[in-house]
Amino acid sequence: MSQKLDALLKQLNNLHPKYIDLSLDRLRKLLDKLNNPHLKLPPVIHIAGTNGKGSTLSFIQNILIENNYSVHAYISPHLKSFNERIIIRNKLVNKKNLYTILKKIKKLNNNEPITFFEITTAAAFYIFSKKKSDFLILETGLGGRLDATNIINKSLIDIITPIGIDHQDFLGKSLKKITNEKLGIIKKESTIIISKQKKLVKNHILNKLILKKNNTLFYGNKFKILKKNSKNFKIEYDKKKFTFSNPKLIGEHQIENASTAIASIFVLKNLGYNFKNQSINKGIIKTKWPGRLERVKLNKIPVYLDGAHNIDGAKKLLNFFKQKNQKAWIIIGMLNNKNLIDFIKILKPIAEGIVAIPIPKEKNSFTAKQIFNVCKKLNLICYKKTNIKSANKFLKTVIKPKLILVTGSLYLIGKIRDKNYK
């Protein structure tokens, strides 16, 4: 079934010549043929932002499950298998059912131009509408205002995670323009939760939401982290204090993502949903999110796998390694629509050297030579390798590093993690 599903997904990928083409018209037309499943969904928690969307979603999802709620969720991208993107009542969608529904929707679409994300989002909404659930958590694919997930007309909570520079070709060149696109998910009567932001972004959001202050929770205002230590952190929500164990996910930014998730849970508490503090804590502790500072090994060499692919992601990696006073040999593979030179420039202080590879089976990847040329401009030691296997062998037998970091793309991490590291 996996092979049949992969073949069908490949066909869907060819229905529109453009990889990304932000519009809601094509999707609206298709959903109408499906009897508008996007209007028949459980209460929605909608998440947009540049970084932290997936982790925040996972924290919320695990807290809800620990408190005996059923959860649908829509996540992108996947790491290994496409069905990871669609969670139905706390479980991955069955591949056979997904294949059947995608085939039906492909036929209904009748070869009309539509992007891969749009047609798969239509399938997800169709699946979500057929099974009852207490909640649906939606992660935007790109942007917000014209993102396919934003075809919905109402939501319970809208969350804006940290915003940074990414996808400028589609969202705008400035932080203000990108922020405006992300704010496009906000619906009437929803509660708005704003994660910790850069000062420029925060001020801009405050100005944009001036009429919605009564249902807006800003990090640093109505909810904030008061204290951090090695075992727990304390969050203040609406002048009440709650203490929670440190999440298992690594990095200071994950504590902030957890605090955003907790704020959303207490919004739900205020709406009459039942949560036990102990179960909230369990949900935080149980949360795993592969490919985000994930610790593995190459034989006995420690390895961090991290799907960072933009400037803010690189800065988080820099801060993490600086705090630990560590440097690493860095394996980098990246999509060619990303800011490669600034990404590597940020990581330079923590890089012993770079090993450049293309992302496996990805036509939109930088070549190893292109990455090598950027490293040369930055006076960084760099070696070109054809794939992850040769990169690993080179590091293991020639360099023998104390620490390895693999980064640059979640697509890269997804394609290499299970087969190459333990």
Compute the Cα dihedral for 359, 364, 365, 369 and give only its sign. positive
DSSP run (H or E) holding 139: strand 135-139
Compute the Cα dihedral for 355, 356, 361, 365 and give only its sign. positive
Given 1.10.3720.10, 3.30.70.260, 3.90.190.20, 3.30.70.270, which CATH number is that of 294-420? 3.90.190.20
Burial class (CB in 10 A: 0-12, 13-18, 19+), 59: buried
- Structure-token pair, residue 211: 């009429």
Task: Give me the residue spans of the domains in the chain.
Answer: 2-286, 294-420
pLDDT given for residue 214 in this prediction: 65
- Structure-token pair, residue 53: 């969307």
pLDDT given for residue 173 in this prediction: 61
Q: What is the full per-residue pLDDT of the chain (422 aa) written as tens digits?
A: 778 888 877 888 777 655 566 779 999 999 999 999 999 999 999 999 999 999 999 999 999 999 999 999 999 988 889 999 999 999 999 999 999 999 999 999 998 889 899 999 999 999 999 999 999 999 999 888 889 999 999 999 999 999 987 655 556 568 888 899 899 999 988 999 999 999 999 999 988 886 566 678 888 888 888 766 667 788 887 777 888 888 889 888 899 999 999 999 999 999 999 999 999 999 999 998 899 999 999 989 999 999 999 999 999 999 999 999 999 999 999 999 899 999 999 999 999 999 999 999 888 899 999 999 999 999 999 999 999 999 999 999 999 999 999 999 999 999 998 788 86
What's the pTM? 0.91
Reduced to 3 states (helix: H, G, I; strand: E, B; else coil), residue 384 is strand
Its CATH class, for the domain covering 2-286, is alpha beta
pLDDT given for residue 362 in this prediction: 87
The residues, any chain, with a CB within 8 Å of residue 60's CB and separated by 6 or more, are: 45, 137, 261, 264, 265
User: How far is the CA of 415 from the CAs of 37, 77, 300, 344, 412, in angstroms?
Assistant: 32, 12, 21, 21, 5
